[in-house]
Amino acid sequence: MRWYEPLFVPGLLQTEAYARATLRCEALTPIEVDSLVNSRLERQSVLTRDKPPLFFVVLDELVLTRPAYGDRALMAEQINHLLACAELPNVFLHVVPASVGMHAGHAGALILAETPDAEWVAHADSQLKAHIENRPTEVAKLMNRWEQIRGKALADEHSLELVKKAAASWT
């Protein structure tokens, strides 16, 4: 699985408090928020099951430095959780540094996943809805976009240094 995110920590790597913060601006009832957060947290078990998928994540540096409603403790917890997730043997975290400037990823988040049948599917969100794409030509376009974005990201050890620096800035 490959996930590029320019705005938020991906759901599979979120803490409960951060997940709730991402839903704060939505017109949802507390029960709906609880349901969405619980579902998100339950999905995270895929990363620690007996045969977990390889999970490649690329974040924009801004994800690490953008405050969540001024809650420094929430961000410190989230960034430290991100570091803990990056220690999993199947999770590969990369960061596109802010110094790169504008790049192909600014068009939006994307997720690419390989099915058990060795086919690729893509997921992209918009302000209105999520879109699943399985047409090979369209998935290939997003694979090319992924490679352009990944090419701008730092190597994993340099990415982790940047994440550690961000974690220290929130404490």
- Residue spans of the domains in the chain: they are 2-170
Give the Cα separation of 105 and 89 in Å (integer): 26
Which of the four pLDDT bands, split at 50, 70 and 90, describes residue 125? confident
Quick one: pLDDT at residue 122?
95
List all residues 6 or more positions away from 61 whose beta carbon is below 8 Å from its beta carbon: 95, 96, 97, 98, 162, 166
Share of the chain above pLDDT 70, in %: 100
Dihedral class, residue 70 (left if φ above 0, else alpha if ψ from -120 to 50, else beta): left
Quick one: pLDDT at residue 130?
83
| pTM exceeds cut of 0.85 | yes
Lowest-confidence segment of 48-62, 85-99, 120-134 by average pLDDT: 120-134
